[in-house]
Structure 1
Amino acid sequence: MTKYITLAFALFIYFNSFAQTKNTEFALTKFKTYFNKHQSDSIYLQWNEQARAAVSKKQLDTLLEKQLYPLGKIQQFEFLKQDENLSHYKISFEEMPLKLILSTDSNQHIETLYFQPYKQDSLKTNSVKKDNGDTLQMEKGTTNLNSIEHTIDDLVDSLALQYTLRPNTSGLAVGVFNQGKTSYYYYGETTKGNKELPGQETLFEIGSISKTFTATLLAHMSLQDSVKLDDPIIKYLPDSIAQNINLKGITFRNLATHTSGLPRLPSNLTPADSLDPYKNYDRNALFSYLKKYEQHHKPDSIYEYSNLGYGLLGELLADKMKTSYNELIKDVISRPLNLPSLSEFPDGENLKSFVPTYNKNGELTPHWHFLALSAAGSLKITAPDLLKYAEANINAPNTTLGKAITLTHKPSWLLSEIEDLGLAWHITIDDFQELFWHNGGTFGSSSFIAFVPEKKVAVVILSNAAQSVDDLGLAIIKKLMGN
């Protein structure tokens, strides 16, 4: 269980593009002079054009007047470290020291200004949430004061800051499980311009990570003998479709390992709304496609990632249990693992916390909606619930569900000398350890989950922007592995 300590503090981030940090000490010396004279106009003129476009003068004045000026004059600053283009400083105000992360452009104008709590023992902040008024309340997860955890905290901060500084991103949530301890980190904004950070209740799309939940449903039903992994799917299709000889030989295992020969998407998927491509693709369209399906690759002959295959898998499983995909997820996984936010259709408080999404250009784009292909990418979840799911994959409960989770880890297809495929999970062999991972993405969200059962470590990352978070996730899990 995560324990929290709260304190009032200010967080200020400029969302901007990267630039090589030069002469930050010169810029900071000027900032100190202007700050101690309360010359807010001069401070604002230190920003480059992109920063001023992102943050208004009024917003800066509010921050200075209500958050920083009350701390008294800046007495001195001390350089701590350089992290790529970001300079870290200890800023000693009369009332308390703070940590400042600063970068400037080639003209010595400020483009990044990011304040954090400063502790002599380098204890880091693990999560941030909005409080009333103009004050931000920051929460600290239970932290073991050792160099390894400090390193993880620093790495997460560095990677997350660089990510959220991109103009096409918005909010970011990171969860880390390390030897039985959980930490959460939140950055950016839930909606561009609202200055409200994500939190424990913030709901994100997870795209193709949904497939790992679908695979768990399949494993669970196979252990209950509702279906068998190597059952041919034509056994569960209407006769008019099952008679298509091109579908012969495709099994549930094939669908779950992308080895069915089915293409990534059906050829009759012609979206009425290009921004919400799966919205109108229903069961009739799916079965119409399967009835006329012509085989290009035989089952078990090639790996070809298939949203179609996973959509079909979910349809068949739900039909077998005479329920919907969403209800099957709730009954088999969400309720037993206590993942209340996990759902295809958020409602109530979850719906209120469902963040808007932004495309690769940073523009608002619709959430995705699904009909027949739900099992391929329709689920939503919070960071704490996704991390709890990762924990269940490390320490599987002694139940049928726990055995099903373990079954999804069993290698079923060799992708390369260093990568296998389980039921949905990619299994990378790294330094003789099995690293399980999956990513997800929609036109306006990106997600990543990875865990190493042997090391008992995991990371989950959720973003409401299309900009990939894969590199962040891989860097964090490799650090957790000790690489």
Structure 2
Amino acid sequence: MLLSRLAERGTVSLEQRVADLLPGFADRTAGRATLGDLASHRSGLPRLHPRSAVASLRSAYAVHRGRDPYRGMDRAEFLGRAAAITSAGTPGEFEYSNLGMSLLGHALAAGTNPEGRYQALLERELLTPLRMTRTVVHTGPEPLPDVPDDLALPHNRNGRPGEPWRSEGYAPSGVGVWSTAQDLARLLLAIIEERAPGMDAARPRFDAEGPNRIGLGWFILTRDGREVTWHNGGTGGSCSFIGIDRENGRGAVVLSNTNHDVDSLGAHLILAED
């Protein structure tokens, strides 16, 4: 939606390449990706930054133990690792990439903000206009000063509490983002009423996995003639779902502080069927 908003103004374009906005990405594999391809997961970039076999095992073990596998990876480290990628899949083919979505957020921020901070761009263009006052991006290792005292901390399937994930580098793909059902309901209502910033992001553009199509970030599923615009997410001990049947004006937000999948519950609330 940020990309769509800025493209409407002519600040950036969907055909613009990452290297145009981020110094250090000239002649790099990731630098050749277009903003539109990043937003629709068609850049060919991997899901996450490449790791050695040992580092991958450590990360998996951290998640299993309820720890944060990102350990506060900052923007500089993220961009350095992204710039170091030397191979990618086929551009134009759908392959979900948190790395690509995060790179998009940092590229947009760099193109609109002297300090290149994603959080400032998000607040200015989306959160403030929609009065989403309890949605914050917390990325540092310090305590959580901006989130509610009654926040729902993550837990695994066995009820064991886990660490919240935090990463300035991966913040544009959701790591370290805290919100509430009320704030996300404001977003849903703005989309239903067609007054949300960057509304064109919800328009289906390309084929994605299975029966889904994808716009800019949003997935679109057509079932029995009904079109549901949706997305989900998950960290180690939290899951989320947001979806809208725009034609019928029906939407749902489901937030859970366990790692149990909530997609089917969200779909049931929207479609009112099993």
Aligned counterparts of 1:330 and 1:380: Cα–Cα separation in 2: 13
* Paired-residue identity, %: 30
After superposition, the Cα gap between the structure-2 partners of 1:285 and 1:469, relative to the gap in structure 1 and judged at 3 Å, is same
Given candidates 316, 332, 341, the residue that maps to 2:134 is 341
Q: How does 1:30-45 map to 2 (within 5 A)?
A: none
In the TM superposition, what are the counterparts of 1:33-432 in structure 2 within 5 Å? 216-238=1-23, 240-244=24-28, 246-247=29-30, 249-268=32-51, 270=55, 274=62, 275-300=67-92, 302-322=93-113, 323-345=116-138, 347-348=145-146, 350-378=147-175, 379-397=177-195, 402=196, 404-405=198-199, 407-415=200-208, 418-432=211-225
1:150 aligns with none
Give the aligned partner of residue 248 of structure 2.
Answer: 455
Aligned residues between the structures: 257
Larger CA Rg, structure 1 vs 2: 1
In 2, the alpha carbon distance for the partners of 1:475 and 1:352 equals: 31
Conservation of the 8 A alpha-carbon contact between 2:39 and 2:217: yes
TM-score, length basis structure 2: 0.86
Give distance in 1, aligned partners of 2:205 and 2:98: 18
Q: Which has the higher strand share?
A: 1
TM-score, scaled relative to structure 1 = 0.50
1:337 Cα deviation after fit: 0.7
- 1:248 to partner: Cα distance: 5.8
Q: Which structure would you say has the larger RCO, counting Cα contacts within 8 Å and 6 or more residues apart? A: 2
Q: Distance in 1 between matches of 2:150 and 2:76?
A: 33
Of 307-316 and 247-256, the range deviating more from structure 2? 247-256
Q: Relative to 1, partners in 2 of residues 1:319 and 1:403: Cα closer, same or farther, differing over 3 Å?
A: closer
What's the CA shift string for 1:335-393, capped at 9, x where partnerless? 11111111113645x43122221013220101110121110113211111111111111
User: Once superposed, what is the RMSD of the aligned Cα atoms?
Assistant: 2.2
User: Which string of whole-angstrom CA distances, capped at 9 and with x for unpartnered residues, describes residues 94-148 of structure 1?
Assistant: xxxxxxxxxxxxxxxxxxxxxxxxxxxxxxxxxxxxxxxxxxxxxxxxxxxxxxx
Cα distance 1:344–1:287, how it changes in 2: closer, same or farther (>3 A)? closer
Query: Which runs of 5 or more structure 2 residues have no equivalent in the other structure?
Result: 139-143
Verify the 8 A CA contact 2:94 2:209 in the aligned structure 1.
no
Which whole-Å CA distance do the structure 1 matches of 2:223 and 2:186 have between them?
Answer: 24
Structure 1 residues without counterparts, runs of 5 or longer: 1-215
Separation (CA, whole Å) in 2 of partners of 1:330 and 1:286 = 21
Distance 1:416 1:279, change over 3 A: closer
Q: Is the 8 A contact 2:50 2:85 kept in 1?
A: no
1:337 partner SS = coil
Equivalence for 1:443: 236
Q: Distance in 1 between matches of 2:240 and 2:22?
A: 33
Mapped partners of 1:340, 1:280: distance in 2? 24
Structure 1's 358 and 277: CA in aligned 2 closer, same or farther, altered over 3 A?
A: same
